[in-house]
Structure 1
Amino acid sequence: MHHFSYIDGRLHAEAVPLEAIAAQVGTPCYVYSTATLTRHYRAFADAFADLDATICYAMKANGNRAVLRLLTGLGAGVDVVSGGEMGLALAAGAPADRIVFSGVGKTKDEMAAALNAGVHQINVESEPELDALDAVARELGVRAPVAIRVNPDVDAATHAKITTGKAENKFGIEWTSARTVFRRAMTLEGIAVHGVAVHIGSQILDLAPFEAAFRKVRDLVALLRADGVTIDRLDLGGGLGVPYHADDHTPPPPSAYAAVVARTVGDLGCALTIEPGRAIAGNAGVLVSRVTYLKEGMTRTFAIVDAAMNDLMRPALYDAWHDIWPVVEPSAGVERHPIDVVGPVCESSDTFARDRSLPPLAADDLVAFMTAGAYGAVMSGQYNGRPLVPEVLVDGDRFHVVRRRPTLTEMASLEDLPPWLTDAR
């Protein structure tokens, strides 16, 4: 469910017309709904209320400070995958003891920063990382609270670029090596082993892969405890999908996901960490864009919009589908025609939709790319010299720009000419 709907023929975010935001902020711009973010977080919190579980929002989905402040204010922890994300989460007010630091390539500086901040847990993904963390912790005179991420070799049946739980993926310790690594970790002076971590992928629309992975985790916990390894935490990751297309298989609700967790690992006496990202932020946001030109070709019609692949990368990167809604509601029964919706960047991959059946569009029309709240703004860049897109948070009948569009002067301010070019003309 989301809070974007037509009211009196105009698409609104909650009670704010998107036309009003576009007029004040310009296009393209991202718009997020407080009501949707709140509803989705609470759906997870309520689903896991009977379990000893912490919902740690995966901020890689949407790391805007206002979004983080909203969710942590509701009680969420934060799952981070870099020192930068950790710093931003702390700056947004996230308590350090509710931060989980994941990721396969943590540097020693990032490890030290996490330990100095007092994060709840560091998820270790390889033996070299384990050794590096041990050394950093000993140098600081502390013991690092650790869960070791294992790779259960479970096919999540999702896009190849967002699956993380198969043997050929870069994530986690191979299943067959897990017991050996855990036993060794118990001997390291700078490591405090607490648990097992697992995450099998993203945009998963079926509970069966989760159940298979969690049952393997249950078996591993039994073996590790028999080996004398302390296991009092389970980090089960995220990955629950969202509907991008009306024909998509409807994702299971958080309550059904929680039921799988409860029946597979709920009786192991472990504190649980659940890390939804897309499922909270995905359909809480839209990207608003304006049609610049309508171009009629010999065989195709193109709507050229002012948003581009540098603003919303998912279609170019994954061939991902985003529903496209006109901001002015089409008349009932209006005839639709196939159209290609493309951006202005000088790449053929700067295409949002091919042969998409849409109502008539004209220059200056506003459109909204739906379900763009996750992996939209966070993946954006400045290719072709295009400024980063502003982000707007709506709450009821009010809205605020929570990241403004930088000026060209600001974009250039990070660059500097070498002395030998300063006087060149």
Structure 2
Amino acid sequence: MTVKYINNILFFDEVNVLDFAKTNQTPFYLYSQNLITHNFMEYTQNLNTANHLLCYSVKANSNLSILSILSDLGSGFDIVSAGELQRVIAAGGDPAKTVFSGVGKTEEEIKFALSKNILCFNIESQEELNTLNKIALAEKKIANVSVRVNPAIDVKTHPYITTGMRDNKFGIDESEIINLYQEANDHKGLNIRGIDFHIGSQITSLEPFIDALSKVISIIKELKSLKIELEHIDIGGGLGISYDKKPIVSKEDFSKEILKLVEPLDLKLLIEPGRSIVGDAGILVTKVINTKKSPSKNFLIVDAGMNDLIRPPLYSAYHAIKEVSQTKNKKILSDVVGPVCETADFLGKDRMLSVKQGDYLCVENVGAYGFVLSSNYNTRPKIDEYLAKDTDIKKIRIRDTIEQILENEKKCLV
């Protein structure tokens, strides 16, 4: 438990959040290096009997300092753009331990990734397969490939973060997968390395993973009968965290059940965790600008908005919100809303809180898909990010200035 009260003051890891908020501009993100390390090592320790590689999903939180920490722990990386690959390299990550996912890889991105000798391209369509082969031959390279299966599994998560159902844009239908592997086997610019799937995000039970893996194992057996040998199986990511204290599958149970099915295959296991590494390792600290009462609602208007954390309006996502300083004052049912000019600009609705103008609130479990989804909407600066290790706190991203936001437009002003 990284968030706790000591003498009615909120602490995150070992940081006194009230003292830190008083001396630093809000809103800001604060991450725990200890918890990121713990979450990563929990996977590693539970998979230690298997030949495996954890490829951290960069899209979950792409801050260079966080990527550097994970690289030092031995992590590989899962990327979905050339920009993310450049981040991995800038952070000291190894391209040879990096897989490139995503349905829309451009020719420029493919060339760049080939030049950096990445571990594998996860192929999402026949046209992508043909394009990659053409580029590899032109560049006098051999591209390592894995074909992404769409196993048509309903993971019972938010529809925007399902990726393994038939009407999703991701992966290749099971009925077409064998033909695509046979075609890949004939391409001179390609080297078949593996098979992969990714069925969604924020999955809190084992069943969808087991169902998808069972389908993919059947495909592997059929490929083997056709003399198409694989080196690895990539089961993607998607393991969730508990935003609302409800029980979820543990990394230990997840690893144990996955290994039961994968170890007999004698293939290297790749996993692409993101949220389960960084999700619970971050908080957003915000200050109450004003309180407001309407005939039907109480509002706490804070300085963080949907431009800083879009998950609540985008996914109807729940994040616990706590007072940074507890009092004995009566708690009032309130909506926590931001300064952005949108009705959808809220961090939480119907929360029992006791705060006044100038007090601070903490939004929990924002380490994944928090800052990375932020924007400059309403010409608001992207905010500071900090990293704590015990009581030592370092700034790992500097807040935008308005001048920086305007700079590229000023250069083109007509």
Report TM bin, short chain.
over 0.9
Alignment partner for residue 279 of structure 1, among 269, 276, 280?
276
Hey, what does 2:49 align to over in structure 1?
50
1:355-411 deviation digits (Å, cap 9, x = unpaired): 22x232101110011000000000000000100011000011110110010111111
Equivalent residues, number: 414
Paired residue secondary structure (2:387): strand
CA 327–175 in structure 1, closer or farther in 2 if over 3 Å, else same: same
Gaps of 5+ in 2: none
Corresponding position of 1:410: 404
Which residue number corresponds to residue 366 of structure 1? 360
Name which of 316, 330, 345 aligns with 1:319.
Answer: 316
Deviation at 1:106, TM superposition (A): 0.4
Which is further off, 113-122 or 257-266?
257-266
Question: 3-state SS of the aligned residue for 1:322?
Answer: coil
Match of 1:352 in 2: 347
Q: Which amino acid aligns with 1:328?
A: S
| Residue 77 (structure 1) aligns with | 76
- The separation in 2 between residues aligned to 1:418 and 1:322, in whole angstroms, is 40
CA distance in 1, matches of 2:54, 2:256: 15
Distance 1:225 1:218 in 2: 11
Matched, 1:265 2:262: yes
TM-score of the pair, normalised by structure 1: 0.95
Q: Residues of 1 paired with 2:297 and 2:107: CA distance?
A: 53
Map of 1:251 onto structure 2: 248
Judge conservation of contact 1:3–1:35 (CA < 8 Å) in 2.
no
Residue 392 (1) aligns with residue 386 (2): yes
Letter in 2 for 1:266: E
Identity among equivalent pairs (%): 36
The correspondence of residues 13-412 of structure 1 with structure 2, limited to 5 A, is 13-246=12-245, 248=246, 250-331=247-328, 335-356=330-351, 358-412=352-406
Secondary structure of the residue that 1:5 maps to in structure 2?
A: strand
CA distance in 1, matches of 2:411, 2:192: 49
| Aligned equivalents of 1:291, 1:171: Cα separation in 2 | 41
Q: Secondary structure at the match of 1:364?
A: coil
Assess if the C-alpha contact under 8 Å between 1:28 and 1:306 holds in 2: yes
Contact 1:164 1:200 in 2 (8 A): yes
Output the CA distance in 1 between the equivalents of 2:371 and 2:240: 19
Q: Give, as a single letter, the amino acid of the residue that structure 2 aligns with 1:369.
A: V
* Counterparts of 2:393 and 2:22, CA distance in 1: 13
- State the secondary structure of the residue aligned to 1:206: coil
Check 1:406–1:258 CA distance in 2 against 1; reply closer, same or farther (3 A cut).
same
Deviation at residue 417 of structure 1 after TM alignment:
5.2
Structure 1 gap segments, 5+ residues each: none
* Residues 32, 281 of structure 2: 8 Å contact kept: yes
Asked if 2 retains the 8 angstrom alpha-carbon contact of 1:235 and 1:274, the reply is: yes
Letter in 1 for 2:119: H
Alignment-mate amino acid for residue 278 of structure 2? A
The CA distance in 2 between the partners of 1:330 and 1:314, in whole Å, is 29
Q: Is the 8 A contact 1:240 1:251 kept in 2?
A: no
Q: Shift of the alpha carbon at 1:299?
A: 1.4
Q: For the Cα contact (< 8 Å) 1:80–1:86, is it kept in 2?
A: yes
Question: Counterpart amino acid of 1:176?
Answer: S
Distance 2:23 2:264 in 1: 53
